[in-house]
Chains A and B, each alone.
Chain A
Amino acid sequence: METDRPDGRTPNQLRPLAYSCSILHRAHGSASWAQGETKVLAAVYGPKAGTKKNENPEKASIEVIWKPKTGQIGKMEKEYEMILKRTLESICIRTIYPNTTTSVIVQVVHDDGALLPCAINAACAALVDAGIPLKHLAVAICCSVTDSGCIILDPTKDEEERSLQVGSEPMENGIMTSVTQGAMSVNDYLHCLERGRAACASLSEFVRKNIGTKSTSEPSKAG
């Protein structure tokens, strides 16, 4: 049941990853994350004084601004902002800087499928670059179920028909964030989780290697 993919990848193969940080000078932390043609640029500012309405002043709050490549901000962008905000809130240690707001600006450079996992990875790398205290690191992956029931990882725009995005932690491999589109059986979903966890492990190794190199070579800008 091996399906041929248009770009020649095997079902379990990710697109080439490209990662760089500290690319913006004014931002306290910034990171660029690309998977194949999909590319996202994230910038972090803060912690800044004050919290917005309806926020808890005893904790640090996180504001996420999602900028699409073209067009106005619509419902999809609002949903992505909310998902990113909740995900980043769950990995940050929010009691260290009470009554502050950290802004995370996510700019979509190009979208060729698997956009939300790319944005999650870029935002986490930008938070690390800014020196924001984190409990753990989150990595995200996208799985797709084809019509023949085969599960493929890291789909391109053409392959995205029934997709599932899993954000998980490398330490415990629990699910932090999950978004699905299309219909699938529950067993297919659980199989996607297993494949996603394995892919997140390799992604986590990639992140650890690159961030480790960065942190020893340069001091943090937010300090």
Chain B
Amino acid sequence: MGLPNVSEDLSSEMEVDAFRRLFPLRYFERHLAESIRPDGRPLGKARETSIFLGAVASANGSALVKIGSTTILTAIKMEVMTPSLESPDEGCLAIDFHMPPICSPIVRPGRPAEASPVVSKQLSDTISSSKMIDLKELSLVSGKAAWMAYLDIYCLDADGALFDAALLSAVASLSHLQIPVVAMNDDGKIVLVSEEDGQKREQEPVNKEKRKLTLRSIPFSLTCILHKNYILADPTAEEESIMETHVTVVLDTSGQLISLYKPGGPVLAYTSAIQDCAALTRQRVKELKSFLDKANSAMEVE
């Protein structure tokens, strides 16, 4: 009696897997018709999100972000540099997004992935457009010394919606960032005051203590897939490869639209679809803001 059941269950499971592999688009559309996705999510729901601050102890600020399986690690290094002539009162942010071969089967060692410079440019544009950071706050001595922040963002697991996770990781690490203490030495140059030298305090510090950056409106993003009449929020890598029209909406905490990014794709976006994407993103901004506040308050307790 038990044997036919076992073989029957096994054969039906094999049929589902074969159907998924041979006809992926039809497999997904069968789920979409029931308003559900193959991983059990409703169409408008994002995956489980977690933020861990302070993952890299040697960096001035760091954050590890997971959205579903997508994992992004960001570390910030601060360096004193001479500001440019065009903006002598401002510091600088340099954002780099890396996709090492560990993150995806299609990334090969040596040559950088095609998506890396595109996400880097998107991140730089988004953070500068939102005016989240006042670059004048990074200035030390006008025309002579200013902070340069290097944000290195590494994708450890690329399972879709890379830009969303990368932006959240960059924002979280900037909220965790502690600007180190610097002092003017006898030659008039700015040098870092390490914590060992802190006891001596022969030199006068330029800024008195470690301090945090003031973040103004914080941008958050949500990527959606448009497919026929459906809108799927926060796609996985499989969904992204099967359905090709992606729309990324970035809103900040004051409700301003920072970016609406739709790079082609077979489905045309009409005004109603854009309004739906913006509504989903507004909801997501509230969620992510509470996650970030929770992570920061947990850091305060430690």
B 238-276 binary contact with A (CB < 8 Å = 1; else 0): 000000100100011001111111111110111100110
B residues in contact with A174, CB < 8 Å: 268-270
> Are B262 and A54 within 8 A (Cβ)?
no
Output the residue of A75, A169, A174, A179 with the most chain B CB within 10 A: A75
Q: Is A17 an interface residue (CB 8 A)?
A: no
Interface residues on A, range: 35 or more
Q: Is A172 an interface residue (CB 8 A)?
A: yes
Residue of A nearest to B254 (CB): A183
Select one of B244, B252, B260 contacting A178, CB under 8 A.
B260
Select one of A89, A175, A177, A188 contacting B270, CB under 8 A.
A175
Q: Is B118 an interface residue (CB 8 A)?
A: yes
A90 in contact with B265 given A180-B257, A186-B257 (CB within 8 Å): yes
In the complex, what's the smallest C-beta–C-beta distance from B270 to chain A, in angstroms? 6
In the complex, what's the smallest C-beta–C-beta distance from A202 to chain B, in angstroms? 20
Residue of B nearest to A188 (CB): B257
B residues in contact with A198, CB < 8 Å: none
A residues in contact with B69, CB < 8 Å: none
Select one of A79, A88, A172, A190 contacting B268, CB under 8 A.
A172
CA distance A189 to B247 in the complex (A): 15
Select one of A90, A168, A184 contacting B266, CB under 8 A.
A90
Segment with Cβ contacts to A, from B29-37, B49-57, B123-131, B172-180? B123-131
A residues in contact with B268, CB < 8 Å: 168-169, 172, 174-176
**Count of residues in B whose CB is under 8 Å from the partner chain:** 35
> Are A54 and B118 within 8 A (Cβ)?
no
> Are A75 and B257 within 8 A (Cβ)?
no
In the complex, what's the smallest C-beta–C-beta distance from A151 to chain B, in angstroms? 14
CA distance A177 to B261 in the complex (A): 8
Q: Is B117 an interface residue (CB 8 A)?
A: yes
Q: Is A86 an interface residue (CB 8 A)?
A: yes
Q: Is B204 an interface residue (CB 8 A)?
A: no
B residues in contact with A176, CB < 8 Å: 262, 264-265, 268-269
In the complex, what's the smallest C-beta–C-beta distance from B73 to chain A, in angstroms? 20
Task: List residues of A (60-113) whose CB comes within 8 Å of B's CBs.
Answer: 74-76, 78-79, 82-83, 85-90
In the complex, what's the smallest C-beta–C-beta distance from B282 to chain A, in angstroms? 9
Select one of A76, A189, A190 contacting B121, CB under 8 A.
A76
A79 in contact with B117 given A54-B106, A182-B129 (CB within 8 Å): yes
> Are B122 and A186 within 8 A (Cβ)?
no
Q: Is A185 an interface residue (CB 8 A)?
A: yes
B residues in contact with A181, CB < 8 Å: 125, 129, 259
Residue of B nearest to A82 (CB): B118
CA distance A178 to B259 in the complex (A): 9
> Are A190 and B269 within 8 A (Cβ)?
no
Interchain Cβ contacts under 8 Å between A and B, 17 examples? A78-B118, A83-B264, A86-B264, A86-B265, A90-B265, A175-B262, A175-B268, A175-B270, A177-B262, A178-B247, A180-B129, A183-B256, A185-B257, A186-B251, A186-B255, A190-B271, A190-B274
CB-CB nearest 4 A-B residue pairs? A174-B268, A86-B264, A87-B264, A78-B117
Beyond A79-B118, A193-B271, list 10 extra A-B contacts (CB 8 Å).
A75-B124, A78-B121, A79-B117, A82-B114, A174-B268, A174-B269, A178-B269, A180-B129, A181-B259, A184-B257
